[in-house]
Chains A and B, each alone.
Chain A
Amino acid sequence: MKKIIFALSFISIQAYIYAFVDNSNPTNCKECHTCDKPSTQALCLHPCPRHETTNSNKHNLSEGPGIVFFKDIAEHFTPVKFDHRAHADMSSLGVEKCNFCHHFTPPGKIQPCRDCHTKNSEDLKRPGLKGAYHRQCLGCHREWSHDNKCFSCHENTDKKTPVDPSDKSDIIANAHPKIQSPQTLVYKTPYRKAPIVTFHHGQHIKSFGLQCVNCHEKFTCGNCHDSDPNKKKKRTMQQVHQSCDKCHRADNCSKCHSLKEMAPFNHADKGWKLNYPHSKLACKECHKTPEEKPKKECKFCHKTEWTRQNFNHNSTGLKIDAAHSMFECSYCHSENNTFKVFCNKCHFDGRDPKKKPVGEYLTL
């Protein structure tokens, strides 16, 4: 009996001590929500101008200041001379323009940073002036140079030798040079059956009326100015095809891949050698969708009721003499097919204006 009591008390002491350990692990709402009772209407999110407002203003480069001297917060370092004009020029290359830096721009004059970002910000969600400046600059500069050097912008820490804000000699204020766009790029791909991909870069820009940013999305300064040679990004198969896939259907490999370099697209191959002014048009001027095949018929596109008086036949490349210009259009052209021309109403020797060299006069 004694032994049993002893054993029981022994076990109960152990159980007593185990009871101290609390293993409960309640799910916590606050892991996701900031307020106590979030609802679908109120997710406890505070609006920030950075993501709420977009700029509808269009400003010219010349409207902005030339050199800005950041001296409000100089404490351990000398003030920074900032060439606003040069930076504005750079950001004008992108889609965002002024908004690239000035993320909150209500209509009217663009606000300087310190209007919202005060030196000692009370609002914890809004960076102070120092943070705003540095985040703005380092966004590109760090991506660009991969270092943490303060002296790229701050000249030195010695406050005894003040920086002369009027001295602009040490600032390289060149506008961004014009970006050279390649005409044709030939890629050798690992696709064995047809390794060569010819990309007619120039033709894409011209025929499809593209801007750089239409394809080169989310490009920042660092995309070109990257000091790290090792950082050549390896793109995945999907990423490589992504920009082409947007327009070209991905299932047809031979559209782009071939065994040898491909010639650029020629409209004549499709049965209509384009002459001026049709040769100057972007594809979509006639083909509203890639699938659309417009009839080879003037009226299909040109809604103007052309008559002898308002049509300058010379613009087609075939000049007509005074005698022929007396005829109504329908005298020579078929009503339903403009390109069907009848010469045999007058001439019975089988002549055809198509056989006439372009630029020459059509004479009787």
Chain B
Amino acid sequence: MSTSRRDFIKILATLPLASSSFASDGHSEKNGDLASNGTSYSVLMDSTLCVGCRKCEWACNDKNHLPNKDISTFEDTSVFAFRRRPEVDKFTVVNKIQSLKEQQTIKIQCMHCLHPACASACIVGALKKQECGAVTYDADKCIGCRYCMVACPFQIPAYEYKNVLTPKVQKCSFCVDKLEKGEKPACVEMCPNEAMTFGTRAELIEVANSRMHQHPEKYFHHIYGEYEAGGTSWLYLSQIDLRGSEFPQLSSDPIPKLTETIQHGIFKNFVPPLALFTLLGVAMHSLKDKDRD
């Protein structure tokens, strides 16, 4: 009896160490800091300035060594008949805004959320929100569970289903290597009309607001991504309300807020599982004694 008591205490002592990882909610707090600090980069995409030349698609393919075609072929506007989605071989697409009669286009890519659901979902931390603002993917860690694709509210990550042995999750990386060198993402550099502005998030929100105030007739008064899903690094201005049209209608809560709250609630300082363990242990021992009586 005494030996098993000692064992019991030993196990009690080792368990929290083993799983302290999900017992603390330090990770989400760190993400919260990222949202507010000034070094996190953003892009403001003004869809009223997008001319639909699709040169950003060419630049993205070029930068990421994706299958690419001659630059002149990107002037083909027949693709606007469909609402295309980012794929494993194209991280960004320019789509026609479906609800508008005239040809007005908008660029779609990873939104680089401030509280990315994909990164919260990732079982091995292959997807990460970097200090610079990019949500990056590390294929070497990935186990290929595709939970990130379930989690993403913008339906961005694409999967190399056709790759038998080393399939990857593919999405825009915000050109993180260029960002770290102090350069702009390839698409932003390429855009002839400067429909995209690159800067820190706070600056860009101010730019967006001043544009809306100066041309109230030109813009729908809303910055998509300022609060959606707890904020995204890519911000959008448009002549229409993008909520529920080109982008989903999202609350200002970070997408992973509920799951993280539950998860860290269940593992709060590892108390609930240990309490259950102790309770069951006590029940087991006391009921056994009673049985013998």
Contacts and interface: CB of A to CB of B under 8 A. Distances in A.
A131 B209 contact: no
B209 A33 contact: yes
A25 B251 contact: yes
Interface in B243-268: 251-253, 257-258, 261-262, 265
A142 B206 CA distance: 29
Interface string B137-159: 00000000000000000000000
A138 interface: yes
B258 A20 contact: yes
B209 A44 contact: yes
Contacts of A46: 210
Given A76-B190, A127-B194, A130-B192, A34 B54 contact: no
Contacts of A20: 258, 261-262, 265
B142 to A, nearest CB: 30
A34 B209 contact: yes
Given A124-B199, A142-B51, A146-B103, A134 B205 contact: no
Given A17-B262, A20-B261, A138-B193, A44 B72 contact: no
Interface string A134-161: 1100100010001111110000010000
B71 A76 contact: yes
B227 interface: yes
B130 interface: no
B47 interface: no
Given A127-B194, A134-B193, A150-B53, A157 B71 contact: yes
B214 interface: yes
A21 B258 contact: yes
A148 B194 contact: no
Most buried by B among A30, A134, A148: A148
Nearest to B189: A75
A209 to B, nearest CB: 32
Contacts of A25: 251-252
A135 B214 contact: no
Contacts of B252: 25
B194 A130 contact: yes
Interface string A285-317: 000000000000000000000000000000000
A175 B265 CA distance: 76
Contacts of A150: 53, 55, 72, 75, 192
A22 B214 contact: no
Contacts of B207: 124-125
Contacts of B49: 135
Give chain A's interface secondary structure class.
loop
B214 A148 contact: no
A48 interface: yes
A30 B204 contact: no
B46 to A, nearest CB: 10
Nearest to A129: B194
Counting chain A residues whose Cβ lies within 8 A of the other chain, the interface size class is: 35 or more
A323 interface: no
Nearest to A135: B193
A43 interface: yes
A45 interface: yes
Interface string B47-86: 0010111110000000000000001100101000000000
Interface in A14-42: 17, 20-22, 25, 28, 30-34
B213 interface: yes
Given A124-B197, A148-B51, A157-B72, A30 B265 contact: no
A202 interface: no
A20 B226 CA distance: 24
Contacts of B52: 148
B54 A148 contact: yes
A147 B77 contact: yes
B72 A151 contact: yes
B203 interface: yes
Most buried by A among B192, B204, B258: B192
Given A22-B253, A150-B75, A135 B206 contact: no
B193 A131 contact: yes
Contacts of A157: 71-72
Given A124-B197, A134-B193, A135-B194, A45 B54 contact: no
Contact of B75 (A76, A131, A149): A149
Interface in B204-237: 204-207, 209-210, 213-214, 221-222, 226-227
A128 interface: yes
Contacts of B103: 146
Interface string B81-117: 0000000000000000000000100000000000000
A51 interface: yes
Given A76-B190, A130-B194, A30 B261 contact: no
Given A127-B194, A150-B53, 15 more contacts: A20-B261, A31-B222, A34-B209, A34-B210, A44-B206, A76-B55, A76-B71, A124-B207, A134-B194, A135-B194, A147-B75, A150-B55, A150-B72, A151-B75, A157-B71
Closest 9 CB pairs of A and B: A131-B194, A34-B209, A148-B53, A34-B206, A134-B192, A20-B261, A134-B193, A148-B52, A124-B199
18 contacts: A30-B205, A34-B205, A34-B209, A34-B210, A43-B213, A44-B210, A76-B55, A76-B71, A124-B204, A130-B194, A131-B191, A135-B194, A138-B193, A148-B51, A149-B75, A150-B53, A151-B75, A157-B71
Interface of A: 17, 20-22, 25, 28, 30-34, 43-46, 48, 51, 76, 124-125, 127-128, 130-131, 134-135, 138, 142, 146-151, 157
